[in-house]
Structure 1
Amino acid sequence: MSNEKIHKDLSHLSESQIKELIYRYYENENVKTLLVEFDVHVPPGKLVKLFPPVSHQDYPCPNCGALLYSNQKSKTNKVPTSIHELFCLNCGHTNNLSNHCTCKYCLSLKKIEKERIEKDRQDREKRISKIHEVIENAFNINNNIPLDFDELCFKHKVYLSAICKALLVENYTSTRQIQPFELLTYIKPLSPSDQYTTLMYSELVKQRILIPSPISDITAFVLEDQNGNFNFLDDFPYEFCLDKTWYIINVTCNEGFDSLIKKILLGNYYSSEINSSEALVLWKDIAKQECISYFEYQLSTVHFNTQFGKKTNIIIEKLLEYFSVSQVYALIWKEVASASKAYLEHRFSKNYAKNIAIHGVERYGERALENGWEIIKYSRNREVPQSILSLVLFNLVLLIYDDGFNEPPNIKLL
């Protein structure tokens, strides 16, 4: 036991006396008695702090190689010594959890790590700069010939109206930018379903009505893993995440861009003589998607599988030849309730009960037509709100308002 390890308050004791004091302390002898006997003048609770530290043969100091030590614990402390409590008496290294050791070894490690982080940052910035350069070259707006708005098909005009209504930047004149879909703040969805929203974007991008903007975050074009490595999509940079990308409106008109945006946002481009057939097809598409979304919602409330195949789509399309969306809602609500009751009473599987609901909607619709039954018209459900696309088509473009929901899709209203 070296002298530098002996506390000054125990310096009057010999090595054997100190060992005896420590032994008797841990044998639970009265501390006050020990203090008197060994002529130690500290409060009883402070005695253990005077004991020399304990060496740990299996833990050399990573700095100087000397053995690490730990302070002795109170006899009432039964918690094993942690590696983070160890320290070096030779060089001052500590293993503490806070990683605030200031020995030369740890300071050099921190310096090396800081330099590594800075180098990684600089390397990442260089890689990002090169990626941005490729993206900018691929989607340079100056290399694109704007499309004439009047030459677009009616459906694409409506798609563009809905997207601009939801995501066009405030100061659009100089930038012509549309924000990423992931930044949508409207309470209402852009379209009746995520799949249809993807379809809208895909068609507009394919036709170059929307082109990716170079200001997009690179994560729209490449995936970054936890180690900072970039994984490129198969057809970089022409394959990208539709919902993460900023877009530029690659459309123009003779009256200028401001007039174009006004026309797009107000829906002032419908002609019944020219667009009625296209408008009817789009009405049917939106109506079908609204029915499917409502069907999925009702199935989810009774914890049934919400995945549909082609057959259900065909059934909905057939019903919409005769019934409005609001009436199909009524059929769906009634048949899902009946299927749920059958599942609970007869213990059918959920998939079988779901099929009961699908066939029930079709069968009840057919019987209603055969017998001339009047199907009640349901209101929209707040959990399945009207989409921005639906609002744009019915309220701005076609000006038929709630008839788009309460009437079967038909050319007479167009």
Structure 2
Amino acid sequence: MSDNYVLQAYIWRFCLRCPMPNFSIHPKLAHLSDSQMDNLMTRYYAGETIVDLLGEFKIDCNPHHLFKLFPPIIHSFLVCPHCDAAMMSPRISRSAHYETTMRCFQCRHEDTSRCKCDHCRNRRTTLDSGKVLRNVFDIKNASSGQTEKLSIQPDNLTLEQAVALLSLLRCPGVAYADVIAVSAAFSMATVPFAPKGNYGHTLIQKLGQAKLLSVLNSAAPDNFSVFGNELRIETPFPIFWNISRTSRTNLIHGIEQRVAQGEWPRHWPEQLPDLVRVLAFAEIKEFYDYCAKQRGLPASAPRSTSMMLNNLIQDYSVAQCYRMIYAGAKAAADFLVRASCAPQHAANYMIGACQRWVDRARAENWEVTPFHRHHELPRSMISHVLYDDFLKRGDDGFNLALDKIARPKM
């Protein structure tokens, strides 16, 4: 039986008891009792012949469309950030290898950067107009005296700082701004700055260490979040450049010229393996968190999770790690149902499931089938800049194991 769908069939028992507006059983399934619906979905996702199921349960529909009639999945541990109603997601075919987008049945909010619910549309309109930022900060007063006449050369930066700087400047509305309103605009971009998680925050801190910019979190009002870990916060928060626009332009030109001519500063090639590994870790951690969230699992033990994910990327590409993480997430969902355990226990079980999978793959010399990038987790600007501009390797950072990503010829 498909591991992912044992949990889905189990959650159906709660559907009719949840006070969800606009929720109704499809008319073609209205004649089935709760137990019959449980039985139908369990057997469908177990792989039984669909035509036989349609005949036995007296359902008139195209066999390929049966899963579309099933009730949605209720994510009982996840609530809408706007109205606190439970989040739901539609069923997918048992042969599908993708995840669906969660949405709120009450306010129609979707867990995606392209959400078109009233709240998100109003928020984007407010952010675009700059009203929130102007009401909270007097930009002229806040930024006065912030720009210093610093002379920073490419050689003064680490490789990670150089890549982060180019990536940040290619995000929407940043290149020519003296004040950067970090907001949902970054997450709405087709290409995000960095993978979701702590890595984006870390990169901004390192640009601050290079004295390129300042993050004024000490001046933030109480109702403001600090600068978001993934450049995705509810209210805009300004950061200021410490160097003038002319200095930024000259610095960027210097970096791009060195990259184009293959004349990297001496310390950059030495720092490349660490940067490649850190970015790969950020990408698989992003996918790990996504898979856990889709199954309603809380955060697992951070140290154990990091150790396991680092073990995965020792021998496998990010694309292959996706495959192993997906298998571990399905096993955890199955365990949650079979053991009737607490969600936190299942979340920790997911760590062990992924580790057992990779141990077996190594021991039996499996050919691990890679996954494609998930449409909800697009390739980041950091990846584009590092692999397209600096290394000229396309998406090798996703498709190749770390030891196969060669250093550039200097």
Q: TM-score range by the shorter chain?
A: 0.5 to 0.7
Match of 2:314 in 1: 321
Between the aligned partners of 1:340 and 1:164, the Cα distance in structure 2 is 41
The residue number in structure 2 matching 1:334 is 327
- How far residue 221 of structure 1 moved from its aligned partner, in angstroms, is 2.6
1:317-359 CA-partner distances (Å, limit 9, x unpaired)? 1221101111111001111111211222331222222222111
Spell out the pairing of 1:238-249 with structure 2 (5 A cutoff). 244-248=237-241
Equivalent position of 1:209 in the other structure: 212
Q: Aligned-pair distance for 1:411?
A: 6.5
Q: Secondary structure at the match of 1:223?
A: coil
Checking the alignment, whether the CA contact within 8 Å between 1:291 and 1:325 is kept in structure 2 is yes
The two structures have a TM-score, normalised by structure 1, of 0.55
> How many Å separate the matches in 2 of 1:408 and 1:251?
40
Q: For 2:207, give the aligned amino acid.
A: L
Q: CA 1:210/1:264 → structure 2, altered by over 3 Å: closer, same or farther?
A: farther
Matched to 2:370, the amino acid is K
1:355 maps to what in 2? 348
> Greater relative contact order: 1 or 2 (C-alpha under 8 angstroms, separation 6 or more)?
2
1:188 Cα offset (Å): 2.9
Shift of 1:133: 4.9
Asked if structure 2 preserves the Cα contact closer than 8 Å seen for 1:155 and 1:282, the reply is yes
Residue number among 195, 205, 222 corresponding to 2:198 in the alignment: 195
Q: Among all aligned residue pairs of Structure 1 and Structure 2, give the percentage whose two residues are the same amino acid.
A: 18
Distance in 2 between residues matched to 1:222 and 1:206, nearest whole Å: 20
TM-score by length of 2: 0.56
Structure 1: gaps of 5 or more residues: 1-124, 226-230, 234-240
Would the aligned equivalents of 1:276 and 1:411 in 2 still touch at CA under 8 Å? no
Match of 2:252 among 261, 272, 275: 261
For residue 136 of structure 1, the aligned residue among 134, 144, 148 is 144
* Offset of residue 313 of structure 1: 0.7
Deviations 1:48-73 (A, max 9, x none): xxxxxxxxxxxxxxxxxxxxxxxxxx
Q: 1:341 to 1:202 in 2, by over 3 A?
A: same
Partner of 2:189: 186
Question: CA offset at residue 267 of structure 1?
Answer: 8.4
Q: For residue 160 of structure 1, report the CA deviation from its aligned partner.
A: 0.4
Structure 2 unaligned segments of length 5 or more: list them.
1-133, 227-233
Q: Cα–Cα, structure 1 residues 367 and 403, in superposed 2: closer, same or farther, change >3 Å?
A: same
Contact 1:149–1:252 under 8 Å retained in 2: no
Give the 3-state SS of the residue equivalent to 1:180 in structure 2: strand
Cα distance in structure 2, aligned partners of 1:272 and 1:401: 22
Once residues 370 and 164 of structure 1 are traced to their aligned partners in structure 2, the CA distance between those partners, rounded to angstroms, is 45
Residue correspondence of structure 1 range 137-176 to structure 2 within 5 A: 137=145, 139=146, 141=147, 143-167=148-172, 169=174, 172=176
Q: Quick one: structure 1 residues 396 and 351, their matched pair in 2 at CA, closer, same or farther if it must change by over 3 Å?
A: same
Contact 2:299 2:344 in 1 (8 A): no
2:377 is paired with a residue of what secondary structure?
coil
Distance 1:337 1:224, change over 3 A: closer
Shift of 1:377: 0.6
**Structure 1 segments of 4 or more deviating over 6 A?**
none
Q: 2:382 aligns with which of 389, 392, 408?
A: 389
Displacement of 1:407: 1.0
Distance in 2 between the 1:347 and 1:280 partners?
Answer: 43
Shift of 1:247: 2.7
- The letter of the residue matching 1:221 is A
Q: What is the alpha-carbon root mean square deviation over aligned residues?
A: 3.6
Question: What secondary structure sits across from 2:372 in the alignment?
Answer: coil
Report what 2:400 is aligned to. Answer: 407
Give, as a single letter, the amino acid of the residue that structure 2 aligns with 1:203: K
For 1:284 and 1:177, the matched residues in 2 are separated by 32
Greater gyration radius: 1
* Superposed displacement of residue 372, structure 1: 1.0
